[in-house]
Structure 1
Amino acid sequence: MHSRTKFRVRYAETDCMGIVHHSNYPIWYEMGRGDYVKMLGFNYREMEEQGIMTPLLNLNCSFGKPALYDDEIILRTKVILISAARITFSYTVKRIEPDGSETELGYGTTEHGFVDSKTFRPISIRKRMPELYEKIKQFT
């Protein structure tokens, strides 16, 4: 199961060539993660209120074709791996063409740890938020 995040490329996200700057992809991935968690009936604020943070451990971006100003983008986000202490998301970035077809522009992954917000020590999401863990686990 994956979330679908649709948006248009803003002018501020492009460089002088009119191409989306690579630094925007991790921001888009963050939007996708937020939508994924919301799709499951949770949100990051709830996790933070329970003292759980998800720092980034690894980031991978692959760029195939450029995204341009005003392109309509669809970002598909899914969890490909979850353990008690870590979670890995994958992302596919596509342009929605005028005829409704989609062109893949790039893809990536992020890996995050689950840590206590006060100590930054690893925690078990399976113990702290078992309902979220089980919901994600059933779709990976």
Structure 2
Amino acid sequence: MYQSETRVRVRYGETDQMGYVYYGMYAMYYEVGRVESLRQLGLTYRSIEEMGVMMPVLENKSRYLAPALYDENLRIVTTLREMPKVRIRFEYEIYNEAGSLLNTGETLLAFVNKATGRPCRPPEVMTSILEPFFK
């Protein structure tokens, strides 16, 4: 299992009229979590794309437990429970500054060959970096 953490501060424009984070923003927070998770491994979306692999989102699930509020510093915990194959599943937990769990989510992405548009395996460098976490 691989797990990482990153933080994001809620901006005013991400909130609704009630002062809560608008529900659609959680997909963006998930993206921040997974991009930073890969970056902490030494991989970037840019480098993966330069290797000829795209990672489109196939599924996006979210469960709202409590509202996040303007100016809170949220902690996004991103987890990979299994070694990626042709697909990669990220799980997310979002906590507020007090440590309360506000949201859980999951995204499923596919690895797609940029040239052919067909599913493919993850780049070998990604597999090599992740392998020690799944032994």
Q: TM-score, normalised by structure 2?
A: 0.92
Q: How does 1:1-140 map to 2 (within 5 A)?
A: 1-97=2-98, 102-125=99-122, 129-140=123-134
Q: CA deviation at 1:133?
A: 1.1
Q: CA deviation at 1:136?
A: 2.0
SS of equivalent to 1:139 = helix
Q: CA deviation at 1:81?
A: 2.6
Q: CA deviation at 1:124?
A: 1.4
Q: CA deviation at 1:139?
A: 2.1
> How far apart in 2 are the matches of 1:88 and 1:138?
18
Q: CA deviation at 1:8?
A: 1.2
Give the alignment's Cα RMSD to 1 decimal. 1.2
Provide structure 1 residue ranges, at least 5 long, that are not aligned to the other structure: none
Give 1:139's aligned amino acid. Answer: F
Give 2:103's aligned amino acid. Answer: G
SS of equivalent to 2:24 = helix
> How far apart in 2 are the matches of 1:139 and 1:104?
25
State the Cα deviation string for residues 2-25 of structure 1 (Å, max 9, x = none): 221112110000000000011100
Q: Residues 20 and 69 of structure 1 are in contact (CA less than 8 Å); yes or no, is this contact kept in structure 2? A: yes
SS of equivalent to 1:7 = strand
Tell me the matched-pair count: 133
How high is the sequence identity, in percent, across the aligned residues? 35
State the Cα deviation string for residues 29-62 of structure 1 (Å, max 9, x = none): 0011111111111111001111100111111100
Q: TM-score, normalised by structure 1?
A: 0.89
